[in-house]
Amino acid sequence: MINVTQTFLPPQQEYQAILKKVWDTAWLTNRGQLVIELEEKLQNYLGSNRLLATTNGTLPLQIALKILAKEGEVITTPFSYVATTSSIVWENCTPVFVDIDPGHLTIDENKIEAAITPDTTAILATHIFGNPCAVEEIQRIAQKHQLAVIYDAAHGFGVKYKNKSLFNYGDVSTCSFHATKLFHTGEGGALFCKDKELMHQLYYHHNFGHNGPESFYGLGINAKMSELQAAMGLAVLPYMEEILVKRKSIVKGYDNSLDFNYIKKIKIRKGTEWNYSYYPVIFEKEEQLLKVQTALNSKEIYPRRYFYPSLNHLPYVKDIEMPVSENISKNILCLPLSSSIENSTIELIVQTINQSLSC
Ligand SMILES: *Cc1c(COP(=O)(O)O)cnc(C)c1O
């Protein structure tokens, strides 16, 4: 069975050697040596702002919204994973959808200003499939209207935009280290922030609000990464370069052999060093997508409809029309992409798709 993603597992002995430190110290969480080590190594590897490791990629979104969006209106994209919208609603904020740019599939920066009201407090946009949003224009708009900018960079691991880590854009940027993501700790995530005062707030919010064992700065929640999660990250990180080389060659394989008469690819923003995190293809019609999906499934190959449905149709948001996002959501399919997939499997996938489209 071939799935859309396949989790990379490091050699078990290497993971166990790192875990031994947990047994030696009997220290399992509350920022032990492994979490600190992982944060340092990640910051180094990514060339990023300071980061805080978290237990998943959703809580950092919620914490950033809690601090910066303050139950106001949050301008956001309808084309993302559900966590982007659900975090907004969970924090008692109101999602205000702005349609996406049909080429890059990121929030359409030219439509943001029309959606701003006196109640708008923040913009939460997703660097979908690791493709950067129009970060400069969004920054300009945010500055003009005094809005906070939060990026859901769950797919952004290792991406550079204009020679800078993608995580360095926005007031706060978040990432997911879920097992299905490019770099993972099983469950896990991180937030990135340059501003010291804001990082201090984010930090205490992620640890119950503690200021020492018996006093509190304010309200908080538990979003701490455990040592067991960090151990997986430390075991995976040394393999990232190898993983990227493999993924790049698979992407080249698809690029060179898929029949692009009937499908198109997303446009990666100029100035991006991309991370080969997903291989989305866009069909002309949903019928074609369903036909291809059925043909692949019959060979036990399972692409995924990332992301479907368009988030403006969620049952707990005000349903308004988002024509571009709805159209893309219906017609986009992510093909299997992982560092362990065989060339022969890629050939089978390509053959199945090309055949299914041409008849
Ligand atoms: C995976 C993902 C998340 C959530 O991350 P978790 O680590 O699973 O909590 C948020 N946003 C996007 C766009 C994602 O793909």
The CATH number of the domain where 61 resides is what? 3.40.640.10
Tokens for 208?
Answer: 């119950």
Boundary residue ending a domain (199, 222, 238): 238
Task: Identify whether residues 15 and 60 lie together within a single domain.
Answer: yes
Tell me: do 76 and 223 sit in the same domain: yes
- For residue 25, the model assigns a pLDDT of 95
Closest protein CA for atom 6 of ligand 1: 57
Spatial CA neighbour of 177 closest among 74, 50, 55: 55
Contact 57, 175 (CB under 8 A): yes
Ligand 1 mean position to 351 CA, how many Å?
Answer: 31
Phi, psi of 21 (to 5 degrees): -60, -30
Whole-angstrom distance, CA of residue 64 vs CA of residue 84: 12
Of the residues 172, 204, 238, which one is the last residue of a structural domain?
A: 238
**Atom number, ligand 1, closest to the C-alpha of residue 128:** 13
The C-alpha atoms of residue 355 and residue 274 are separated, in whole angstroms, by 29
**d(CA 189, ligand 1 centre) in Å:** 9
Please state at what angle helix 12-25 crosses helix 33-46, rounded to 10 degrees. Answer: 130
Q: Quick one: which atom of ligand 1 is closest to the CA of 84? A: 11
Chain CA centroid to CA 9, Å:
20
CATH (domain of 285): 3.90.1150.10
Pocket perturbation via mutation, ligand 1, pick of 56, 58, 187, 191 by most ligand atoms within 8 A of CB: 58
C-beta atoms surrounding 242 within 10 Å: 11
Question: Exposed (0-12), middle (13-18) or buried (19+): which is 43, by Cβ within 10 Å?
Answer: middle
Same domain, 175 and 112: yes
Residues 6+ apart with CB under 8 A from 315: none
Residue 359: per-residue pLDDT: 79
Residue 196 CA to ligand 1 centre (angstroms): 25
- pLDDT given for residue 353 in this prediction: 97
Convert the pLDDT of each residue in 259-308 to its tens digit.
999 999 999 999 999 999 999 999 999 999 999 999 999 999 999 999 99
Q: Are residues 209 and 271 in the same domain?
A: no
DSSP assigned state of 133: P
Same domain, 45 and 102: yes
Residue 138 belongs to domain spanning: 2-238
Closest Cα to atom 13 of ligand 1 = 81
Site to substitute for ligand 1 among 54, 80, 152, most atoms within 8 A of C-beta: 152
CB 159 within 8 A of CB 166: yes
Asked whether residue 221 falls in the same domain as residue 331, the answer is no
pLDDT in tens, the chain (359 residues): 999 999 999 999 999 999 999 999 999 999 999 999 999 999 999 999 999 999 999 999 999 999 999 999 999 999 999 999 999 999 999 999 999 999 999 999 999 999 999 999 999 999 999 999 999 999 999 999 999 999 999 999 999 999 999 999 999 999 999 999 999 999 999 999 999 999 999 999 999 999 999 999 999 999 999 999 999 999 999 999 999 999 999 999 999 999 999 999 999 999 999 999 999 999 999 999 999 999 999 999 999 999 999 999 999 999 899 999 999 999 999 999 999 999 999 999 999 999 999 87
pLDDT, tens digit, for every residue of 23-39? 999 999 999 999 999 99
Cα 300 to averaged position of ligand 1 atoms, centre (Å)? 26
Q: Whose CA is closest to atom 7 on ligand 1?
A: 57
279, β-bridge pairs = 335
Whether residues 97 and 151 share a domain: the answer is yes
How long, in residues, is the chain? Answer: 359
The strand order across the sheet containing 272-273 reads 164-165, 160-161, 272-273
Same domain, 113 and 257: no
At 124, phi and psi to the nearest 5? Answer: -120, 105
pTM of the model: 0.97
CA 198/CA 210 separation, integer angstroms: 16
Collapsed DSSP state (helix, strand, coil) of residue 298: coil
Expressed in angstroms and rounded, the spacing between residue 223 Cα and the centre of ligand 1 is 14
Same domain, 172 and 244: no
Q: Of 238, 263, 296, which marks where a domain is finished?
A: 238
128 & 141 share domain: yes
Predicted local distance difference test score (pLDDT) of residue 98: 98
Distance of CA 74 to the CA centre of its chain: 18
Instruction: Based on the fold, state whether residues 162 and 250 are members of the same structural domain.
Output: no
* Mean of the per-residue pLDDT values of the chain: 97
Q: If you measure from the C-alpha of residue 66 to the centroid of ligand 1, how many angstroms do you get, rounded to a whole number?
A: 17
Triad 332, 135, 129: Cα angle to 5°? 25
Domains contained in the chain, number: 2
Q: Which residues line ligand 1 (CB under 6 A)?
A: 56-58, 80-81, 83-84, 126, 152, 154-155, 176, 178, 189
